[in-house]
Structure 1
Amino acid sequence: MVSTVQNTDVKQKDADRAVVVAVTSRSVFEPEPGDGVYGEGVAFKLLQALQKVNERLLEENPSESLLFDVVLITTDTEQQQHSNRIITSTRHYGLEISRFSFCAEEDFTESLVQNHVHLFLTTDQHEAQQASQSGVLCALLDPLTASCQSDQLRVMFCEDDVIKPDTSPLPGRQQANQTLSCQLGEMRGRFGLVDSPLSLVLVTSHGNRQSCGVAMRTLRSRGVTMDEAYCLAGAPRGPIVSLLQPHFLLSDGCSGMEE
């Protein structure tokens, strides 16, 4: 059973335009003894970066509707028993979370569907695989990069479903990837070349500079312009990820940072 509670402290986003991002409460908050607020988890800084993008978008245009809409999902039984503590912690830190979804572990994919989630973020490999198998785009968060202090949201695009030429019909996850990339590209286009709260980086793992150029042109044809691009020509992407420290990586289905 899934129970969803709206956060009355936050203005609700336009359901037809918002980019819905779901993240697990275990990723956002660290358990703390006592009855006080929870500590900051792996995804805490990431949520602040998403929020910064929203704030800057609204500064540019107060009627902007293309915004991040964050849903906090709680499957942990102990945390569900202290749901007020989660809501209080959110209020304490000033996090812009629109909805709280409480559900059993076996029902969390139903929660993703009910909330029309575009991207699911988690530190749990099993949850990531379940979401991916349900057709929901997901990213496995790396503790060292997702938690980096930054006012700029950094998203790394990898090849495969994100940049391959369009085919018809598109598999669900490939379509979801391309839709999200276009939404991020549209957001990025709201800002200038410098001082943007959102940075998009392309990494091609295989091929030469020419194939990287093809990938950039493919993305540009969809309205997605990269801030940076790197051609690895078969080299592992771990070192470049460690250097650039993206908050999350977009690839086919579900991705981690370690590949």
Structure 2
Amino acid sequence: MSKQKLVVAISSRALFNLDESHAIFETQGKEAFCRYQIEHENEVLEPGFGFQLVKKFLDINKVFPGEPLVEIILLSQNSADTGLRIFNSIHHHGLAITRAAFTSGVSPYGYIPAFGAHLFLSANGEDVKKALAAGFAAATIVSGPVSNASDQLRIAFDGDAVLFSDESELIYQRQGLAAFAANERDDAHKPLAGGPLKGFLSALHRIQSRFEPDVSPIRTALVTARAAPAHERVVRTLRAWDIRIDEALFLGGMPKGAFLKAFGADIFFDDQTGHCESAQMHQITSAHVPHGITNQSKT
């Protein structure tokens, strides 16, 4: 079934606001954290950065009640004991989440393939890095939880090092814009290799393919710093993958935030923190994909 439906895994700190209990964990240790969670397990948690996104994902299932198109999985470093508060809050908020892995402090990314998840969203950057290093699609939610008023789920992606590999970005970083432009012009008919979120986009496309474009519950956008003539290779790559992107914005280095606002993005995925910050300035939920040469150079 996981091959037919979209499966998104999310951490408890991305789904709910656990800042208070996490601060106790950081300052007083695991035992104090566990004690606090058990003492407060009947207190409902407030939404976190990923809450509205999850709600919109689950609302897609209302279209085909007997055949869910999306499943949300909880992957949490809580124990089953402290996880009771998480599930109590899930029930209170009416979220149809029934499957979970509680790992008692161990990074839960190893369960991504077992659940068949196409994407792992977490508030823990280290967990995300481990997931990406293992070959799984993952991103760190760094802002939110503002959601656009539309019922349609709108997801925006950067291109290089997110949907596509960082092969072209590598040339840009090491040889400059002129070398990058020349390479993209010469290789315009050579499809780019897939990046970490290609499989997630493909799973979104499978859902979109069941609807006419004007009534689809999902709308996607590519929002890239590329400009002509480097746009051609991107267009031909998506065509070779047989994946639909509803909107493509080639910004030539302009800040992305205002364009994401105009698109009405519920979430934006980018490998560069500066673009995530630009999205945040325009009240767009953003997720950092710490992948590729740009992130390697910072470590």
| In structure 2, C-alpha distance between the alignment counterparts of 1:179 and 1:24, rounded to whole Å | 20
How far apart are 1:243 and its partner, in Å?
A: 4.3
Q: Secondary structure at the match of 1:121?
A: strand
| In structure 1, C-alpha distance between the alignment counterparts of 2:237 and 2:274, rounded to whole Å | 21
Indicate the structure with greater strand content.
1
Q: Per-residue CA shift, 1:179-234, capped at 9, x if unaligned?
A: 322221121122223343211001221231x4335423432443322222211112
The residue type equivalent to 2:126 in the other structure is H
Bigger relative CO (Cα 8 Å, ≥ 6 apart): 1
How far apart are 1:143 and its partner, in Å?
A: 2.1
Matched, 1:21 2:20: no
Segments of 5+ residues of structure 2 without an aligned counterpart are 21-39, 166-189, 279-299
Q: Which aligned pairs between 1:120-159 and structure 2 lie closer than 5 A?
A: 120-144=120-144, 146-150=145-149, 151-159=151-159
Q: Would you say the 8 A contact 2:257–2:275 is kept in 1?
A: no
Q: 1:225 to 1:90 in 2, by over 3 A?
A: same
Aligned to 2:259: 240
Q: Secondary structure at the match of 2:89?
A: helix
The residue type equivalent to 1:204 in the other structure is T
Cα-Cα RMSD: 3.1
Over the matched positions of the two proteins, sequence identity in percent amounts to 25
Q: Per-residue CA shift, 1:224-257, capped at 9, x if unaligned?
A: 2222221111223344335435333346799972
The residue type equivalent to 1:194 in the other structure is D
Aligned to 1:202: 222
Q: Which aligned pairs between 1:220-231 and structure 2 lie closer than 5 A?
A: 220-231=239-250
Normalising by structure 2, we get a TM-score of 0.66
How far apart are 1:101 and its partner, in Å?
A: 0.9
| In structure 1, C-alpha distance between the alignment counterparts of 2:267 and 2:131, rounded to whole Å | 16
Q: 1:92 to 1:101 in 2, by over 3 A?
A: same
Q: Secondary structure at the match of 1:71?
A: strand
Aligned to 1:10: none
The residue type equivalent to 1:247 in the other structure is D
Aligned to 1:95: 95
Q: Would you say the 8 A contact 1:154–1:200 is kept in 2?
A: yes
Aligned to 1:52: 59
Aligned to 2:49: 42
Q: 1:177 to 1:41 in 2, by over 3 A?
A: closer
Aligned residues: 232
| In structure 2, C-alpha distance between the alignment counterparts of 1:138 and 1:70, rounded to whole Å | 14
Q: 1:121 to 1:254 in 2, by over 3 A?
A: farther
The residue type equivalent to 1:70 in the other structure is I
Q: Would you say the 8 A contact 1:206–1:232 is kept in 2?
A: yes
Q: Would you say the 8 A contact 1:156–1:248 is kept in 2?
A: yes
Dislocated runs of 4+, deviation >6 Å = 252-256
Structure exhibiting the larger radius of gyration computed from Cα positions: 2
Normalising by structure 1, we get a TM-score of 0.75
The residue type equivalent to 1:26 in the other structure is R
Q: Would you say the 8 A contact 2:225–2:254 is kept in 1?
A: yes
